[in-house]
Structure 1
């Protein structure tokens, strides 16, 4: 007898309903008319079965720092610099216990919304030391049966702004960090150019044999040349170093400011370097000073996809100083992306769902991910018959499974 069998599941890219047999946390078979004796049986009635959502870029250590009773900005948005200063002031009073509590609530909220894997950015710098990292390592262990968590050592104060930063990052990997972070925009006042910052981050990633996760090109200048793009410099260095497939770039907003021919050349380099790109909900912070033809602040999602670049999307900031919105809900973020990136055809909506599942899993290097025989049984059952119906209708996540175990069950009740 096996643990679980699912009957009559709708699956993306399949024209027929399928059955899935799960045992000991693994998908053992799929097909029509499976007849295994099982301890638990679910008839999905044509509802959509997808692999677990993958939240590939989120600042977990500062998430949910806003007032839960009256969320939203206390004062109107002024500038990213002021927002960063506000974070600097708030985080100095954070204790490990507080970070663990907020991050734990975030993991539970993400799990409720079908997230089974997450890559979390985590402040590492001489002022807070490894306090944030120690908290997230504890959270990773506590919730390991719900969410697979990768931790990015994020250089909140750059890599050269403060003495001892590079040594601190080496210690971070010894203490449990998984991925090297990179954010050249945070080298403020130190005279360090973005190329030096990227070089140092890439060199350290290669030394430690870990992936590199860049914050790249976060602004939207009126114009930008090819050599001005951080992601282009990173791509060239990755190709030179033979580190293809180990690097992700988040944001990449300035790519949309480039002339089409410059963007095409940049995208070709990104593709050659096998850099994954994560689109973020940057509409909330960019274009606010535009008084006509207000820019969206998104990267060139469609063009990147057309060039076979692995593109995902993520929440980035959730209910913190930078973005007071969000629910760790990738169906919700997918709908936002559909509006912003003009992706509203059935095929494009299906692509959006893959961006938050298969594409995001690929950039995280998740092994055994998917709905094929032998894959780990991390999956979500959505109350919708298709991907486009799930996104447009914001379908409920009826069941969430991690390694074959039910970790969340939701119901939406309407009385008329």
Structure 2
């Protein structure tokens, strides 16, 4: 007897419905009319089965900090730096209990939306010390049977502008942090300008010293013009190649690439592919282009061009109901629809790709082992109330069944 049998599911790559058998947390068989007796059997009626959604870039320690009763901005948006200052003020008031409660609620909400794995950006700096890391570790362990969580040490106050910072990051990894983070706009040199090359070098140095993957926020602005040498993602790609860190580096945002001239962008994308960088687009569209008086830009990276070049591109929620972005539901079908609008991805094939970006592509970002829908893969599964990927995205359908490690979490 096996644990779970899903009857009559549709798979994106199969022409006809099949059965999927699960035992001891693993897919053990798939095919037509499987002859198994199961402790639980679900009649799926031709609905689409996908591997669990993977949230590849989420600021978990500050998620849901806004008023849940009346979400939205209390004051009009002024600038990203203004919002960051607001975040700095607000987080000084965070209690340990509040952080744990909010992060726990976030994981519960994400699980109901079919998220089975998540990469959480977590503040590490001289002001909060390791407090956020310690609290997210508690939440990670408490919800391990619901959502697999990777914690990224995120340098909210920079890496190189204060001598205590790098030592703090070393201590964070002793507590179980998984990934080295970076944010190239958060270190300022003696001239008052962003010292992003020094920041990127320091992030690489720590990641390689600790033998961990690197996840960097980069190219968060949209200047009128940009040269190849001014693209932070290009420098990251060059460093990745020089240091032999291919396949272990992720860049979040990469917005500036979207405003580069076509020839500059093509050269940059070739380097990104050579470096085997992962690119995580944030399709929230709330932040950039607010000062444009015409031809308003929205700050998306070149999603279609990157995909066409063979770059691994995912998308994520980024900020959910916090000081920076008042929207979001940990719903990657919702974020995928926003991406479809913003990136002009509306063909059936492109919508199919969008669903893969929040599953297979995002799983590659996290380097999840045994991810997928073939026998031997971990049984992290979502049954969608739709027959096809495009129907799921356009219809914003329900997650009928969510399975984590072979156990039904939501039904």
Judge same fold: TM > 0.5, yes or no: yes
Contact 1:161-1:190 within 8 A present in 2 as well: no
Q: Residues of 2 paired with 1:38 and 1:257: CA distance? A: 54
Give 2:123's aligned residue: 123
Give 1:274's aligned residue: 276
Q: Deviations over 1:74-133 (max 9, x none)?
A: 011110111000000011111222111000000000000000000000000011000011
Helix, strand or coil at the partner of 2:10: strand
Structure 2 residue 52 is the aligned partner of structure 1 residue 52: yes
1:249-328 → structure 2 map (5 Å cutoff): 249-328=251-330
Q: Residues of 1 paired with 2:285 and 2:37: CA distance? A: 50
Q: Deviations over 1:243-298 (max 9, x none)?
A: 00000000000001111000000000000000000000251111111111111210
1:147-158 → structure 2 map (5 Å cutoff): 147-158=147-158
1:10-409 → structure 2 map (5 Å cutoff): 10-188=10-188, 191=191, 193-409=195-411
Q: List runs of 5+ in structure 1 lacking aligned partners.
A: 410-416
Structure 1 position 307, deviation (Å): 0.4
Structure 1 position 190, deviation (Å): 5.2
Q: Deviations over 1:156-184 (max 9, x none)?
A: 01012223100100000001110000112
Cα RMSD between the aligned structures? Answer: 0.9
Q: Residues of 2 paired with 1:100 and 1:254: CA distance? A: 35
Helix, strand or coil at the partner of 1:75: coil
Contact 2:2-2:38 within 8 A present in 1 as well: yes
Contact 1:96-1:134 within 8 A present in 2 as well: no
Helix, strand or coil at the partner of 1:49: strand
Contact 1:251-1:282 within 8 A present in 2 as well: no
Give 1:7's aligned residue: 7
Contact 1:160-1:190 within 8 A present in 2 as well: no
Q: Residues of 1 paired with 2:10 and 2:393: CA distance? A: 15
Contact 1:343-1:349 within 8 A present in 2 as well: yes
Q: Deviations over 1:59-83 (max 9, x none)?
A: 0000000000000000111101110
Q: Deviations over 1:223-245 (max 9, x none)?
A: 00000011100100100111000
Q: Residues of 1 paired with 2:392 and 2:184: CA distance? A: 37
Q: Residues of 2 paired with 1:291 and 1:197: CA distance? A: 33
Q: Deviations over 1:342-388 (max 9, x none)?
A: 00000000000000000000110000111011111000000000000
Give 1:412's aligned residue: none
Where do 4+ consecutive residues of structure 1 move more than 4 Å? 189-192
Helix, strand or coil at the partner of 2:56: strand
Helix, strand or coil at the partner of 1:244: coil
The number of residue pairs the alignment matches comes to 409
Helix, strand or coil at the partner of 1:283: coil
Structure 1 position 188, deviation (Å): 3.5
Contact 1:10-1:18 within 8 A present in 2 as well: yes
Contact 1:52-1:380 within 8 A present in 2 as well: yes
Structure 1 position 189, deviation (Å): 5.7
Q: Residues of 2 paired with 1:27 and 1:240: CA distance? A: 40
Helix, strand or coil at the partner of 2:256: helix
Structure 1 position 207, deviation (Å): 0.8
Q: Residues of 2 paired with 1:341 and 1:39: CA distance? A: 44
Q: List runs of 5+ in structure 2 lacking aligned partners.
A: none
Contact 2:300-2:342 within 8 A present in 1 as well: yes
Q: Residues of 1 paired with 2:122 and 2:96: CA distance? A: 13
